[in-house]
Structure 1
């Protein structure tokens, strides 16, 4: 089964306004990388410091070549407004902006070097270009403080990457008197999520086609071991194993251009009579593997579960 949760590979690019010495941003970037690596893990350090648009293209290519799928843009000083915001436009993935706090006497005259004003201008320029980026509530800090901000950005980046590569597979239709739960699809497309809507009959046909699947016995054994003595209906395990394989195979064959899958599946009122069991146990097993399964009336619940899983 494919990995249903993204792995985040972080990169960091430092920017510098050309009226400041470039080593100011460079040295502060190095301090952040050292602090983050020591406390939290790996982060790729782009060697290009961005002062202009040519630098911006070079730095973005550098992190892309390194395989980064999430990015930190660090204002080591006031920062160049156009190039720094174009980084997020050119980079295909979530981007966080943070900035250097004022230090005491080691980089500039009287320690001046706070980039808070630059962050204000940066956020304004991101808005002008309608570029979405993650900015912490207070985005200015020391190396250790920014390392902590990056650590907090990590799960946010994971969720954003996941949602941008997600397909929601549904098996309906929604039952009678649930008209309020007919989820509008356009907001999902706005988030970058794909959706595949199928009928309960499609699910039943696929389920029956798995009746003699040679993998069933191994799953039955795994289910029995998982339940232990709390197994009140052992005669149902074969059917549930068959159903589990049906969903896993459907996800693998139907994810298409997407990397990740969640389900919003029918479970009533016809399900018990046609399949011969309720699917809740199988659903829980999929959830434990990072594949959320919600009710067919709750497509947005499936999306929320996935974000929470990430």
Structure 2
């Protein structure tokens, strides 16, 4: 994954001048030791310059973590803490910041050894709000050295995502296809999130593609594709064109990302793409996503944004799927009922033409795109990657701007079942607890499009915290039985 931040987290301890500084010094040392004993520890930096008690100390600590190359910060209240200096530290640090605090160690040290950080965290949170400073505060932010070490570890994917978004550019090609208003959304919220966007015509892309004809790198890319596809290479004649297109996109990214470090792509794939390029881009999209450069289908800009968020959190390939169709009753009865604790309405099929990374498929083959081939010659619809999605834990999620420029998100954890789909495309049988209610009262009620991002693992906690940090006011989730949605009829 070469398209997401590498984190270096600075740990700065703070102390109120009327409390023993040694409390913060010793507790910081214990925290760092606990983290390094439990986790790798190579991505954290213990700032030795000073314990922050004043604004002057704050400047010194800030310069130190910047010099050390830190792009995320943990402000650690070893005791009550100086509410002004510690919040100014967060204000002037250019990156995500977490506040945590030390619990008391022993009933035998509650005189000179009492730190009152539990109280100090309240003042820190008040001052952060007073100054309009964003900071991440864990669900329960006070703990022992070992517990605070766990908080830092949970902060890493959140910090990595926030750092990535601050340096992200989304590159799009073409307007959405006709009859595709579902993925239409204002781009104003991208700028509010600190994300840049470069919108291009698909004609610009076509020109760049034609200029790559005969590129000497094409044979090497073809060889790599052949190795990846193996026996699934059922359309070998189209590989040179796909390789040419892949090089076009990669070169465009390098030439156009400008001052930004990270890129996601919202690409065009129909209706004129096939007839003009002579193939469909699905397999290439899957390969770039596997490299850590998410590519959304159908110029879904917020889909690309969601995929990038999932990539940063999971440090793995993600995919974008249609929340597509129901599982037929006979299939549910034969393959799911009695074997898994899911109702029929908990299940559905997630599908897209062929954009899912081959690593996330049980097996794969590169074929033609069946839906498009119903209206076009088959030879111009080649290039889609088909296969059942590998079973395992997943998180379905999306960040979306509504038509009236309001940010909404949803997160739902579930799994892909080991059930043969008997269908085509990149597809899987998904199960999410209480999916039927979630589908009606979040996805439909809140006007989400049919595209959802999929991370391969359970990452709901980190995603929820990222969305909170970004200021998303409505975050939907699959509420359990007995917890009614606002629009849910209590009479059933």
1:170 aligns with 2:172: yes
Alignment correspondent of 2:102:
100
* Unmatched 5+ stretches in structure 1: none
Check the 8 A contact 2:19/2:115 in 1, yes or no: no
- What's the RMSD between the two structures over aligned residues? 1.3
Of Structure 1 and Structure 2, the greater strand share is in 2
1:26 aligns with 2:25: yes
Tell me, in whole angstroms, the C-alpha distance in 1 between the residues paired with 2:118 and 2:67: 30
Alignment correspondent of 2:248:
246
Check the 8 A contact 1:56/1:84 in 2, yes or no: yes
SS in 1 for 2:244: helix
Tell me, in whole angstroms, the C-alpha distance in 1 between the residues paired with 2:100 and 2:126: 14
How far apart are residue 174 of structure 1 and its match? 1.3
Check the 8 A contact 2:172/2:299 in 1, yes or no: no
Structure 1 stretch displaced more, 124-133 or 108-117: 108-117
1:45 aligns with 2:46: yes
How far apart are residue 56 of structure 1 and its match? 0.5
Alignment correspondent of 1:266:
268
Tell me, in whole angstroms, the C-alpha distance in 2 between the residues paired with 1:213 and 1:291: 22
How many aligned residue pairs are there? 309
Alignment correspondent of 2:222:
220
Matched ranges for 1:121-136 at <5 A: 121-136=123-138
How far apart are residue 102 of structure 1 and its match? 1.6
Structure 1 residues 73-115: Cα deviation after superposition (integer angstroms, max 9, x where no partner): 0001111100010011111111000000122046541753341
SS in 2 for 1:77: coil
Q: 1:160 to 1:201 in 2, by over 3 A?
A: same
Alignment correspondent of 1:291:
293
* Unmatched 5+ stretches in structure 2: 313-492
Alignment correspondent of 1:303:
305
Check the 8 A contact 2:170/2:265 in 1, yes or no: yes
How far apart are residue 3 of structure 1 and its match? 2.7
Alignment correspondent of 2:11:
12
Of Structure 1 and Structure 2, the greater helix share is in 1
SS in 1 for 2:173: strand
Tell me, in whole angstroms, the C-alpha distance in 1 between the residues paired with 2:253 and 2:114: 55
Check the 8 A contact 2:47/2:61 in 1, yes or no: yes
Check the 8 A contact 2:12/2:52 in 1, yes or no: yes
How far apart are residue 175 of structure 1 and its match? 1.5
Report the TM-score when normalising by structure 1.
0.97
Tell me, in whole angstroms, the C-alpha distance in 1 between the residues paired with 2:194 and 2:101: 29
SS in 1 for 2:204: helix
Higher RCO, 1 or 2 (CA under 8 Å, sep at least 6)?
1
Tell me, in whole angstroms, the C-alpha distance in 1 between the residues paired with 2:51 and 2:115: 17
Q: 1:299 to 1:122 in 2, by over 3 A?
A: same
SS in 1 for 2:172: strand
Structure 1 residues 140-172: Cα deviation after superposition (integer angstroms, max 9, x where no partner): 000000000000001111101100000000001
SS in 2 for 1:228: helix
Tell me, in whole angstroms, the C-alpha distance in 2 between the residues paired with 1:96 and 1:11: 10
Report the TM-score when normalising by structure 2.
0.62
Tell me, in whole angstroms, the C-alpha distance in 1 between the residues paired with 2:113 and 2:23: 11
How far apart are residue 37 of structure 1 and its match? 1.3
